[in-house]
Amino acid sequence: MAGGDNVRGNRVLGGLVLLAIIISISLPVAAELRLRASVRDSAASAQTVVGMVLDRGRDLFVFLFQARHAVREREAMLDEVARLRHDLHTLKELERENRQLRRMVGFKQASSHGLLLGRVISRGGVSGWWQSVRVNRGLQDGVEPNQAVITVDGLVGKTTLVTDHTCDVLLITDPANRVACRLSRSGDLGVARGLGTGLGGKTDFELVRAARPCTVDYVDKNAEIIEGDEVTTSGLGGSYPEGLLLGYVQESEADRSRLYQSLTVRPAADLGGLRYVWVVIK
């Protein structure tokens, strides 16, 4: 029974196929062309949609690839700019240091004192953070306590604690440092001292470059003082040789006792930017 049904089904399918063939053969040429055109147009529409999707996908992939490449290039350029800026800063620092060293060499050749070049390796000490510096010269180099320390511009201070390879320098801005001095123009004498406070106390200035870093006391009350007058060491007291530039007068006023004048003096040396110093050796 089932075999008979299969035979009938195959006969029906074969008949339909034969009918389709007969119809296609018997169609007029114009109708056949229209049918083929319709089928082709339907296929073309589908192909167009697929093509557009593929084009958009390809464009998106290219965009993402180029964007990623652009980000990498930008990061590389930023790194290069940072490196070049660092190199430029380093070159400027080296140039400035070379100028300073050349100036110091010329200063030593023209100086009448025995000078030993040293480099500042740290700041701070028992007299407040900015009141002393440490230099990489010591006993092995001929340094002793109570020797004057200067730069090309002027007096810095004097050596205190000295080890084999280092020495501490008490700056002229420390109140414990007293310097016998003289006004170059008038010849009047006085004693300079720092305006900071010792033993780690709060100072009157931040980086020893304040408006009132030093004062000179015991100047003759009748002395004529002019703003900008040079103040140099007098050589009295033994620690500082005569003629070292200490600073410049900013203002003067009578002492409370009215027996002498007190001067405000700006140090000639840049104490806030010390890098190289001279130790005046005997």
CA–CA dist 99, 281 (Å, integer): 24
Weakest mean pLDDT among 92-101, 161-170, 174-183, 259-268: 92-101
**pLDDT recorded at residue 205:** 41
* Mean pLDDT taken over the chain: 79
**pLDDT recorded at residue 87:** 82
Q: Which band of pLDDT confidence, cut at 50, 70 and 90, is reported for residue 280?
A: very high
Mean pLDDT for the stretch of residues 244-263 = 90
- pLDDT tens, position by position, 67-106: 888 888 888 888 888 888 888 888 887 777 777 777 777 7
E strands, the chain, are: 114-123, 132-135, 148-150, 155-162, 167-171, 178-183, 189-194, 214-220, 230-233, 245-254, 260-267, 276-281
H or E element that contains 94: helix 29-110
262 by Cβ neighbours in 10 Å (0-12 / 13-18 / 19+) ranks as middle
Mean pLDDT for the stretch of residues 230-253 = 91
Angle at 135 between CA 243 and CA 106, to 5 degrees: 50
**pLDDT recorded at residue 262:** 92
